[in-house]
Amino acid sequence: MVIAMTQEMQASKIPQTGEEPATDRPKIHASCVHVSYSGRSAIKNVDLDIRANSVTALIGPSGCGKTTFLRCLNRMNDIIDGCEVRGNIQLDGEDIYAPGVDTVVLRRRIGMVFQKPNPFPKSIYENVAYGPRIHGLASKGRALDGIVESSLKRAGLWDEVKDRLDAPATGLSGGQQQRLCIARAIAIEPDVILMDEPCSALDPIATARIEELIDELKQNFTIIIVTHSMQQAARVSQYTAFFHMGELVEEGETKVIFTNPKDPRTQAYVTGRIG
Amino acid sequence: MTEQSYPPNLVTDAVDGVRKRHRKEIRFRLLGLSAILASLGFLVFFIASIVTTGYGAFVKTVVLVDVDLTLDSLGLEDGYTPKDLEEISYRTVARNAIRDMFPEVSGRSARRELTGLLGAGAEFELKDFVLKNPDLVGAPQSFWMTASDDFDLFNKGGAREETATQLSSQQKDWYRSLLRDSRVKTTFNASFLTASDSRDPELAGVWGAIKGSFFALGICLLLSFTVGVLAAIYLEEFAPKNRWTSLLEVNINNLAAVPSITYGLLGLAIFLGIFGLPRSASLVGGMVLALMTLPTIIISSRVSLQAVPPSIREAALGIGASHIQAVFHHVVPLALPGMLTGTIIGMARALGETAPLLMIGMVAFIADAPASVLDPASALPVQVYLWADSPERAFAEKTAGAILVLLAFLVAMNMAAVVLRKRFEKRW
Ligand SMILES: Nc1ncnc2c1ncn2[C@@H]1O[C@H](COP(=O)(O)OP(=O)(O)OP(=O)(O)O)[C@@H](O)[C@H]1O
Ligand SMILES: [Mg+2]
């Protein structure tokens, strides 16, 4: 079921630029990204490539611009008044800030789980079903039920809510709400999933479940995850980028960043001396 | 305080500073409580005075009159047709009936005083009665007829002298003799709610005004809700935030504070002057009231849109909903209870508004309930205003009665606001 859907969705994606994507071409390519909020610069000069079918962790002290960078990738910063994004960001070689790019299609391909759980004040079912419905993946009935069930299962929430799908989502606990938001994001099967501290409100068991999910999703999807847990970054990611005071200090394979960082600030952060 | 031990003992160490804070709190609470009690007192006084005055409008005095319905006295011959029944002079029949009850009365002016006991509508009541019960014709009948307004006031006032400055001593004597014979009683005055305005207080009712208010409010709701809510959604969710929109916002806020009579002038100049719409029509009244409520609705709708957490918009946009989908699927439903409450409060204000209606001529004496929004109509507050101005003393209780009806509608609307709020409200 899920596989069939994925194929159907592949067909509905933004038309590709024609040439066969080179295997080493990054899924997302960001260069010289500057973001400022009402003139106050938040991140400067960030160059980062995100490899396809992998997990990239963004780490760094609070307020260093991880969320800001993440939100550039699906243009969520567009809706913030006074937020200005400069630089070049490409998804599969296409400039996502080019004129004429439809943010609806972009966000259909780059899903996001926000830092604070933000379920719709509707039923649990409705929360997951909304995305597939507006994108025409399934309008109602069995097909939609199937998507809702599989999404909730993958987010590790199914067993807790299967008897009360009609209950309001706002009645769930914080951690359950966060998993619901994950289910909602994966229900539309995006190419890339941006996760902003998805596990900050979760207990170790739910965290493990989400990490499993991330592992599983990376077969087909590209995942970027912001986390404050070094262990989590080390466990789930293949690549890590370290941000500090609005700058991208260092990026590379997770193993290297954690065991043999080039920059002393990275060294200090991953060993817990700053942060 | 220096002798205070550490850690402080919870009971005995609640010294100076803490006590002072508690006293402050108690003083504040007492102040708040007395403010509430004072306003409650005023409210009770206000309601009580209106209810005691207005109660009289809902009851009326009726007199049991023996009416001679024999063919002879009706001036009919055997084999009369129903059409003949309609052409009888019921005025004369009613007069004769009351005169027959006091055969000793003679003289022109005394007889006029006697017929003055019956209300101006007596002949119509009699006519209706006969036409409805044609089989009763041919025999004397006893029949409750509405008394005149002076008589009514005298009766409802407990027959005290000061309530009947208009009655002569002779009339009072008749009243007492009728009362002794149990021929006087007070009943529910249905016609106050079903009749329209009249020059005669005992015939006057609020139905025409209710209907006029209903039409005007309907038009007002239709126009101001749709325009106001859409304007608020556009301004809040779609309009670019620049100098022009902030200028617009300032102006909308100013409009909400403009005296309502100004909207009446505007309506007079534009709707009547330029578009040539009919004077006194509830259509124009509704349009003017809509202009007046529009700023209120826009402001309250914008406030309730602003109260929707931005994270909901982000959630919707984040899974690829278009801007308009995010707004209409997620933001507006959450803001709707606030919008509805604002609208109903605006409507309640419009219901009580007189000034703008005066300007467009909804202030005339209108004896027929309007059949459509284009007919001349009055409105409840205007009716109150008109009656309060009438010289007849009996209109005083009509005025209070109309205020009671108005208050009942206001209370109903505010309750509706609460119910709607409860029904649509969702927590997030
Ligand atoms: N909407 C906004 N308006 C103005 N400034 C903002 C806004 N969002 C973020 N900033 C500023 O941008 C900088 C980076 O914020 P960002 O949210 O990206 O940090 P972060 O790395 O995600 O931090 P955390 O780990 O605490 O979530 C901060 O200095 C913050 O004050
Ligand atoms: Mg953040």
B126-142: pLDDT as tens digits: 888 888 888 878 788 88
Q: Are the CB atoms for B168 and B154 separated by under 8 Å?
A: no
Both B32 and B166 in one domain: the answer is no
Q: pLDDT tens digits for B90-99?
A: 888 888 888 8
Q: Are the CB atoms for A164 and A84 separated by under 8 Å?
A: no
- Number of domains composing chain A: 1
- To the question of pTM greater than 0.90 for the whole model, the response is no
Q: Residue B65 domain-assigned?
A: yes
Ligand 1 atom index nearest CA of A80: 1
Q: What is the spatial distance between Cα A214 and Cα A225, in angstroms, rounded to a whole number?
A: 9
For residue B244, how many C-alpha atoms fall within 13 Å in the half-sphere facing its CB?
Answer: 3
Both B73 and B14 in one domain: the answer is no
Both B63 and B101 in one domain: the answer is yes
Pocket, ligand 1, Cβ cutoff 6 A: A 37, 42, 60, 62-68, 80, 115
Q: Residue A83 domain-assigned?
A: yes
pLDDT at A13 over 50: no
How far from chain centre, in Å, is Cα A200? 14
Q: Where is pLDDT greater, at B71 or B145?
A: B145
Q: Residue B1 domain-assigned?
A: no
Q: Residue A275 domain-assigned?
A: no
Which residues in chain B (213-252) have CB-CB distances under 8 A to chain A? 241
- Number of domains composing chain B: 3
User: Stretch A95-110: mean pLDDT, rounded?
Assistant: 92
Name the band, by pLDDT with cuts 50, 70 and 90, for residue B227.
Answer: very high
Both B262 and B383 in one domain: the answer is yes
Amino acid occupying residue A107: R
Both B264 and B302 in one domain: the answer is yes
Q: What is the spatial distance between Cα A64 and Cα B363, in angstroms, rounded to a whole number?
A: 68
Q: Are the CB atoms for A130 and B319 separated by under 8 Å?
A: yes
Encoded tokens for B207:
């139905």
The nearest CA of chain A is from the CA of B382 a distance in Å of 45
Both B118 and B231 in one domain: the answer is no
Contact: B320, A130; criterion CB under 8 Å: no
Contacts of B351 (CB under 8 A, 6+ apart): B213, B217, B380, B381, B406, B409, B410, B413
pLDDT computed for residue B16 by the predictor: 67
> Domain containing A113: what range?
2-14+23-270
pLDDT computed for residue A18 by the predictor: 43
Both B237 and B195 in one domain: the answer is no
> Final residue of a domain: which of B177, B202, B227?
B202
Host H or E run for residue B102: none
Q: Residue A244 domain-assigned?
A: yes
Q: Are the CB atoms for B346 and B224 separated by under 8 Å?
A: yes
pLDDT computed for residue B170 by the predictor: 82
pLDDT at B173 over 80: yes
Judged by a CB distance cut-off of 8 A, whether residue B424 touches chain A is: no
Both B114 and B13 in one domain: the answer is no
User: Stretch A125-147: mean pLDDT, rounded?
Assistant: 89
Return the residue of A nearest to B238 by Cα: A79
The CATH number of the domain holding residue A127 is 3.40.50.300
Amino acid occupying residue A162: K
Pocket test for ligand 1, best of A33, A37, A58, A245 (most atoms within 8 A of CB): A37
For residue B307, with 0-12 CB atoms within 10 Å meaning exposed, 13-18 middle and 19 or more buried, which class applies? exposed
Q: Residue B2 domain-assigned?
A: no
Q: What is the spatial distance between Cα A168 and Cα B108, in angstroms, rounded to a whole number?
A: 82
> Domain containing B28: what range?
8-55
Both B50 and B83 in one domain: the answer is no
Return the residue of A nearest to B329 by Cα: A130
How far from chain centre, in Å, is Cα B63? 30
Q: Residue B159 domain-assigned?
A: yes
Name the band, by pLDDT with cuts 50, 70 and 90, for residue B350.
Answer: very high
User: Stretch B47-54: mean pLDDT, rounded?
Assistant: 89
> CA of B275: how far to CAs of A274, B195, B220, B265, B284, in Å?
74, 32, 18, 14, 11
Q: Where is pLDDT greater, at B14 or B7?
A: B7
Q: Are the CB atoms for A148 and A129 separated by under 8 Å?
A: yes
- Total residues found in chain B within this entry: 428
Host H or E run for residue A11: helix A2-11
Q: Are the CB atoms for B354 and B261 separated by under 8 Å?
A: no
pLDDT at B210 over 70: yes
pLDDT at A34 over 50: yes
Q: What is the spatial distance between Cα B36 and Cα B41, in angstroms, rounded to a whole number?
A: 8
Ligand 1 atom index nearest CA of A40: 5
**What residues of chain B lie within 8 A of the CB of A107, using their CB?**
317-320
Q: What percent of chain B has pLDDT over 90?
A: 35
Q: Where is pLDDT greater, at B123 or A153?
A: A153
Contact: B320, A188; criterion CB under 8 Å: yes
Both B223 and B343 in one domain: the answer is yes
Q: pLDDT tens digits for B375-422?
A: 888 899 999 999 988 888 788 888 999 999 999 999 998 888 888 888
> Final residue of a domain: which of B202, B226, B244?
B202
The CATH number of the domain holding residue B218 is 1.10.3720.10
> Final residue of a domain: which of B143, B177, B202?
B202
Both B137 and B179 in one domain: the answer is yes
Q: Are the CB atoms for B328 and B236 separated by under 8 Å?
A: no
Contact: B319, A168; criterion CB under 8 Å: no
Q: Residue B3 domain-assigned?
A: no
Regarding beta strands A55-59 and A222-226, do their DSSP bridges make them parallel or antiparallel, or are they unpaired? Answer: parallel
For residue B251, with 0-12 CB atoms within 10 Å meaning exposed, 13-18 middle and 19 or more buried, which class applies? exposed
